[in-house]
Chain A
Amino acid sequence: MTDMPVRKRQIAPTLLFLPAFSLLILFWCVPLIPGLGLAFRSPGPEGVWPSLINYSRLLGELTFRRNLLLSLIYVVGVVGSATPIAYVASLLMTRNIRSLKWSRSLLLIPWVVPPVVSSLIFRNMAWAEIGPLTKLYRLISGQPGLLPLQDSSWAMATIILHSFWRSVPVMTLFLAAGIATIPREFHEAAQTDGATSLQRFWHITFPLTRMHLAVGMLLITAFTLQDAETVYALTGGGPHHGTEVAAVRLFKEAFDYGQFAIAAAIGSFLLAAGLCFMLLYLASFRRAEATL
């Protein structure tokens, strides 16, 4: 990598970087530290500090362990379903077929819709008697009396479907960006060697877009892991804690119950989970860079 000729102790880059950096420090890090510190304060208005009671209580609770498991299912479900579809869509999109030009603007719309609006639309679609999603689920499951938001697995499927629907556009964009950087000659050379399109995808497209995939997955994971507002609006965490992912629990503790210490403790779990996912993705990203 070639860089600008730099004198030692040059001030220009610092000047350019500092405004954005200080915005982050001032409006994110400064409130974040006491925010997370709250996790180590025992609950109630006169809490003691430091204390691990929030953690021991949370981990001792069956409901919270289930909250964490549901979060994992939610993230894996969304990332796992959105990625393959996004690959197909991005391959179609980058093909530059004139008759498909129109599709791009439609395909990317879900990402633009406000989450509160789309989750309420989905809730309406899964509503007992009039919803089209209810009808679809009844057809798939073969149970004519199925009420999706009253069955924990179908309710979970609904929140995953909603996030999947929102995530595919973002993922598609990232992957399409990656695919566009692959030189045409690679594919042409492979084609003359007689590689099938599946082989070409596996040996050329996939390795060369792995970096984009990692970043796309990271963003979707971050969004899904912290997503409280859409699940809260769609199912309220129900039925019987069946869709209460950790983020929804956090939202309820903070905004319904006023238990800010427990909320902060749950927040630290989410942060840790997010970091684990990030390390996982970045490891594959490194490998991808090494193969380049």
Chain B
Amino acid sequence: MKRKLHWLLMALFCGVAVLPILWGIRTSLTPGPEAGSLVPSKVTWEHYRKIISQGRFYRYAANSAIVTIGSLIVVAPLSLAAGYALARFRFWGRKVAPLLLAFPLLPAITFLVPLSRYLNVLGLYDSLPALILSNSAFCIPFCVWMMRNFVHTVPRSLEEAGLLDGCTRLSLLWRIVLPCAFPGLMAVTVFVFVQVWNNFIFAYALTTNQALQVLPKAVVGFIGSWRTDWGGLMAMGVLTLLPPVIVFQSLQKWFVAGMYGLGTK
């Protein structure tokens, strides 16, 4: 009885969680605006066909992928190193560490104009590295914090044994801490992937080059002074949300395990 109740409750939650997405998919498969039910009376693939038949779509997808993977390459090692330092050493970084959680509170929109000026001076404005660096800076406080908590869960005795065997600090990090902190690194990966892939605001403020557009910008492009093509917009939206959903589903086990490492001491 109780078990059934649990099951029902969970089913309800999941229903609410996926319903809007199903509505999005429905709209993307409906030929025109249509009232009513979740199941369209006529299904068409036309909206998808129109998008994926354009080479430009793959260009944008590739840009999104480059920015996302680029940010991962920057954030993952840096946050592992910094997290390890914070978890294991008593040094000046410990004093600034509490600020890590304050960083997400700074509204990024406030400083987009100075950021563009600054990136322009550096010669990086309107380039994918600009997006990589700003997104990385945006993600890194939380990722360092996550890694710090995760390294805490790695038993110290393993490292001490390593030290006795004559490992250097760096090889210690590489050989012992990294494998143990792997789920934590996966958690960081998923976090960064989702944040960066979905990011609209940096792409909007820092890139204009037609060849450097990313997918979320193309979604917003549908809203305009001509009739909003809701079917096409939703098709574009579904195509945009697929990669993070796939990455999340495939790394989900590690991600959840990584999050479970959170805050344990």
- A adjacent to B, CB under 8 Å: yes
Contact residues, A89-134 vs B (CB, 8 A): 89, 92, 95, 97, 99-100, 103-118, 120-122, 124-125, 129-130, 132
Instruction: Indicate whether B52 reaches chain A with its CB closer than 8 angstroms.
Output: no
Given A6-B89, A125-B23, A267-B107, the answer on whether A181 and B35 have CB atoms closer than 8 Å is no
Instruction: Indicate whether B259 reaches chain A with its CB closer than 8 angstroms.
Output: yes
Given A14-B93, A92-B9, A103-B14, the answer on whether A267 and B248 have CB atoms closer than 8 Å is no
Instruction: Indicate whether B175 reaches chain A with its CB closer than 8 angstroms.
Output: no
Instruction: Indicate whether A237 reaches chain B with its CB closer than 8 angstroms.
Output: no
Closest to B239 in A: A117
How far, in whole Å, are A205 and B97 apart by their CA atoms in the complex?
28
How far, in whole Å, are A21 and B20 apart by their CA atoms in the complex?
39
Q: What is the interface residue range for chain A against chain B?
A: 35 or more
Instruction: Indicate whether A53 reaches chain B with its CB closer than 8 angstroms.
Output: no
Instruction: Indicate whether A24 reaches chain B with its CB closer than 8 angstroms.
Output: yes
Instruction: Indicate whether B91 reaches chain A with its CB closer than 8 angstroms.
Output: yes
Number of interface residues of B (CB under 8 A): 95
**How many residue pairs bridge A and B at CB < 8 Å?**
279
Instruction: Indicate whether B136 reaches chain A with its CB closer than 8 angstroms.
Output: yes
How far, in whole Å, are A207 and B180 apart by their CA atoms in the complex?
29
Cβ A23 vs Cβ B78 within 8 A = yes
Cβ A132 vs Cβ B38 within 8 A = yes
Cβ A104 vs Cβ B263 within 8 A = no
Most buried by A among B92, B113, B249: B113
A-side contacts of B244, CB under 8 Å: 112-114
Contact residues, B92-133 vs A (CB, 8 A): 92-93, 96, 101-115, 117-118, 133
Can you list 6 A-B pairs with a CB-CB distance of less than 8 A?
Answer: A14-B85, A20-B78, A95-B6, A181-B260, A263-B109, A278-B105
Closest 3 interchain pairs by CB? Answer: A35-B111, A267-B110, A274-B105
